[in-house]
Amino acid sequence: MSPFAAVYRVETRKLLAQTRVRALLLFLLVVPWIYIGLILHQDRLPLETLYGRYLKDTGFATPLAILVYASQWVLPLIAALLAGDVFSSEDQLGTLKTILTRSVGRTAVFWGKLAAVFSFTVLAIVIVAVSATLAGVITVGNDPLVDVGGHLRSASSAAGLVAISWATVVLPTLAFGAIAMMVSILTRSSVLGVIVPVVIGLVMQLYTFLNAWDTVRHLLLGWTMSAWRGVMDSPSYYTPLARGLVVSAVYLVVATTVAFVVFRRRDVAGG
Amino acid sequence: MTAQTTHTAGAGGSDVAEDPVPVVRAVGLVKRYGDLAAVDGVDLTVPAGAVYGLLGPNGAGKTTFMRILFGLIRPDEGRIELFGRSELAGRVEALEDVAGFVETPRFYPYMSARANLEALATLDRRVSADRIPELLEQVELTDRARSKVGEFSYGMVQRLGVAAALMRSPRLLVLDEPTNGLDPAGIRDMRALISRLASTGITVLLSSHNMLEVEEVCGHVAIMRRGRLAFDGSMAELRAMAQDVEYRLVTGDDARAADVCRGAPGVSNVRTATDGIRLDSRPGPVEALTARLGAMGIGIRQLELPITALETLFFRLTEGDAAGEAAAA
């Protein structure tokens, strides 16, 4: 087993052993069912939310309406909760020295932890997307979906669009995770590791609401989180999505590089 | 001191065989935190098979030295070699055959003792988890194997730390204050465990601020003071230096007795205190002194050694002036 694989295995086991992580995954599994259950038991629909008006017409509207909420602050929060203390918790528990005195180097520790946290982040996104789709289809049905351009999409086409829409938020969510990890390494604080990325996400989201420079808006992760709307249009357009993925990749690479360099060089003096 | 010749290790130690490659060799090691030199030009050689005590008061630089040894922090100057391998700087190869802990051993509190050891075995890759039951038995934690470490007492965590270290089948075991925070029974058991391990040929580098502990367990000792080595040699060499011992004397007339003490041959550093007279001397002069006090009609109520000869020397080395330090080195 390579050092990377060893760290990855241990980290996934540690994440699964944490009540906080298990509770988060369970929450993501259950919350779409609660959401659609509440919608079906009230007369009003969230008309201001994209696909909110179709929630009682087709089950495919459920994962898309939830994606609107999720992309605003839930996904950055999930990323931050998983990645924001993956290093700082080791600092607080004093266990970093325990790991680093075994047969794995800092490089393997860093990439193994990163891979484990990103795996769980993707797993969290998959859980909420699949759960929301199942909740919608089972409780409302799999009727065709009206896309953003007003065209009716068949059930199979709608399912594909839902999958693609959720897939487009994976990279920006991982970018938020990388920022959380970087902050947790720089500050050695789990609190800041969780809060800072969420605040950054909210500030970026606020900026997108302002009538300000478009160039800046297009360079924000909050903007890339909503680029999936182009996929739902007819005809579909992909320029915002492509640009958003590049922007997300840049955030991801820069934050990961800073985190890696600092982690490699720093003294482990606590605990 | 470079102890690469055959000699008797002394109390708690084993005979050290000739070995051209020392287990630990530190050369000109310096680590600064701002203006403070936590480790200041330390040269240290630990021969194979030794039980080596790194002794000093809190803040002397022992833990910083051990952190450098494990590659957890980088020295500003100098280098350290383990089994002749340099380039520590966190490299996995440099820590082959080395295990132990710095300060309190730390584990994941939300995982069981067994799960923690399994995780560490995975990180060690070549280590088999099959040994875990045997190791837990060795440190008397078999009954708590499935308990979460968060529920463990300090002493249990210390013992689990030893098990985690032994899992690597090390040739060098590094233990930082292993009896810290243990109750008397825990201290006794830990010392017995260290002696037992040393008898199997493992080299043990043990840090402590307790002279008695080092005296009991170690054959070699390095005494640190403010980042520097104040002494480095065998326990026999240290004992040879520790001739004058501090005595406490309580008499029927301490004022007169103190004057007699000051004029007595072989007695020095006489000072009076509320609990009697304190003086530095050796058994022969003290015997003569007590006879003289008796002849002068001064009754002796109490004569005791508040601290041992080695402790006296330890305090002199770690609290004394630079001249005394240089003389000792």
Asked whether the beta carbons of residue B102 and residue A97 sit closer than 8 angstroms, the reply is yes
- Report how many Cβ contacts below 8 Å link chain A to chain B: 90
β-pair type (B98-101, B172-176) = parallel
**Considering only alpha carbons, which residue of chain B is nearest residue A264?**
B90
Alpha-carbon separation of residue A184 from A20, A170, A268, B46 (angstroms): 17, 21, 14, 38
Question: What's the DSSP call for residue B17?
Answer: P
Domain boundaries, chain B: 6-240, 243-307
Position A108 scores a pLDDT of: 92
Task: Spell out which residues of chain A touch residue B147, defining contact as CB-CB under 8 Å.
Answer: none
Residues of A with CB under 8 A from a CB of B: 1, 3, 6-7, 9-10, 13-14, 17-19, 93-95, 97-106, 267-269, 271
Check pLDDT > 60 for residue A195. yes
* Shortest Cα–Cα distance, B96 to chain A (Å): 8
**3-state SS assignment for residue A43:** coil
Q: Which residue of A has its CA nearest to B170?
A: A102
Q: How big is the CA angle at B53 (ends B55 and B232), to the nearest 5 degrees?
A: 75
Per the CB < 8 Å rule, is A98 touching B126? no
Q: How far apart are CA B327 and CA B329, in angstroms?
A: 5
> Do B6-240 and B243-307 fold alike per CATH?
no
List, for residues A93-149, the tens digit of each pLDDT value: 889 888 888 888 889 999 999 999 999 999 999 999 999 999 999 998 888 888 877
First to last CA, chain B: 9
Q: Is B87 on the interface with A (CB under 8 A)?
A: no
Per the CB < 8 Å rule, is A18 touching B91?
Answer: no
Mutate to test the interface with A, among B39, B64, B106 (most CBs of A within 10 A): B106
Question: Across the interface, do B103 and A94 touch by the CB < 8 Å criterion?
Answer: yes
B-chain CB neighbours of A93 within 8 Å are 106, 108-109
pLDDT of A78 reads 92
The torsion angles phi and psi of A218, rounded to 5 degrees, stand at -70, -15
Residues A214-250: pLDDT tens digits? 777 788 887 788 888 888 887 878 888 899 899 999 9
Burial class of residue A61, CB neighbours in 10 A (0-12, 13-18, 19+): buried
Are A106 and B103 inside 8 Å of each other by CB? Answer: no
ipTM above 0.85, yes or no: no
Predicted pLDDT of residue B180: 79
Enter the tokens of residue B196. 């037992």
- In which element (H, E) is residue B250 found? strand B245-251
Average of pLDDT values for A37-52?
83
> Which residue from B74, B107, B164 is facing A267, i.e. has the nearest CB?
B74
Using an 8 Å CB-CB cutoff, list chain A residues near B125: 1, 3, 6, 103-104
Whether residues B72 and A103 touch (CB distance < 8 A) is answered with no
How confident is the model at residue A236, as a pLDDT? Answer: 78
pLDDT at A271: 54
Q: In chain B, what residues touch A269 (CB-CB under 8 Å)? A: 67, 72-73
pLDDT in tens, chain B (329 residues): 333 333 333 334 444 444 578 889 999 999 998 888 889 989 999 988 888 999 888 888 888 999 999 888 888 999 898 888 876 545 677 788 899 888 889 999 999 999 999 999 999 887 777 889 999 998 889 999 999 999 998 888 988 998 999 888 888 999 988 887 777 887 888 888 888 888 888 899 999 888 778 888 888 889 888 888 888 888 888 877 776 778 899 999 999 999 999 999 989 889 988 889 998 888 888 999 999 999 999 999 999 877 776 777 777 777 754 444 444 43
Residue for token pair 């996934």 = A12
Of the candidates B325, B239, B324, the one whose C-alpha atom is nearest the C-alpha of residue B40 is: B325
Q: Is the Cβ pair B119, A13 closer than 8 Å?
A: yes
Give me the architecture of the B243-307 domain, per CATH: 2-Layer Sandwich (3.30)
B116 CA to centre of own chain: 28
- Reported as a single tens digit per residue, the pLDDT across B49-62 is 888 999 888 888 88
Please name which of B230, B207, B272 lies closest in space to residue B55, comparing C-alpha atoms. B207
Query: B6-240: which CATH number, 1.10.287.3510, 2.40.110.10, 3.40.50.720, 3.40.50.300?
Result: 3.40.50.300
- Contact list in A for residue B102 (CB cut-off 8 A) is 97, 101
C-alpha–C-alpha distance, residues B15 and B232, integer Å: 18
Tally Cβ neighbours within 10 Å of residue A42. 8
Q: What is the mean pLDDT of chain B?
A: 82
Task: With CB atoms and an 8 Å threshold, state whether A94 touches B72.
Answer: no
Q: Residue B177: its chain A contacts at CB < 8 A?
A: none
pLDDT given for residue B235 in this prediction: 82
**Mean pLDDT computed over A192-199:** 88
Nearest to A269 among B67, B115, B123 (CB): B67
Quick one: pLDDT at residue B281? 86
For A104-163, the DSSP string reads --HHHHHHHHHHHHHHHHHHHHHHHHHHHHHHHHHHT----EE-TTS-EE-HHHHHHHHH
Banded model confidence at residue A63, pLDDT cuts 50, 70, 90: very high
